[in-house]
Amino acid sequence: MQWYKLIPVNFAALFIAISYYYRSPYLFLFSIPLILLAYKLSKIPRIVNSESLAKFMKKLNIKECCNIVFNDNAELYAFFPSKLEDSIALVGESHCVIKKNGQILIYDKYEGIEEAINELCKE
């Protein structure tokens, strides 16, 4: 986790504590934009195409992993594994299909991307 994501949360907690101590609800209002800022900084982008997959990989600080590819028909390849080459992960609308050493693994989209990074990109 990057340190800049924690700064708004810490200041929001500080404003909430001070507003409770001084019994002033106006100080509590300063924490609301800070909480929204923390949410915006830590928000994970939705993966709907290859560009959004690249943004997601950039958010995870993965420089180059060409074995993770977005494909609209990724679920189809789970039933026909011979069409996939080895050591590749296909990310679809709702699932991630990983083929490694002739074995097919099917995960949820985000869980599968994390598993593919651990198995394919860290070699």
Q: Cβ(67)–Cβ(122) under 8 Å?
A: no
Same domain, 32 and 71: no
Buried b (16+ CB within 10 A) or exposed e, 44-58: eeebeeeeebeebbe
Total domain count, the chain: 2
Per-residue pLDDT tens digits for 94-123: 999 999 988 999 999 999 999 998 888 765
Q: Which residues pair with 69 in a beta bridge?
A: 90
Same domain, 30 and 69: no
Same domain, 18 and 66: no
- The reported pTM is 0.70
Same domain, 60 and 108: yes
Same domain, 110 and 65: yes
Same domain, 27 and 54: no
Same domain, 38 and 88: no
Query: How, if at all, do strands 88-91 and 68-70 pair?
Result: parallel
Same domain, 34 and 61: no
Q: Which domain holds residue 9?
A: 3-42
Same domain, 33 and 57: no
What is the gyration radius of the CA atoms in the chain, in angstroms? 20
Angle at which helices 31-42 and 6-22 cross, to 10°: 160
Per-residue pLDDT tens digits for 2-38: 788 889 999 999 999 999 999 988 888 989 999 999 9
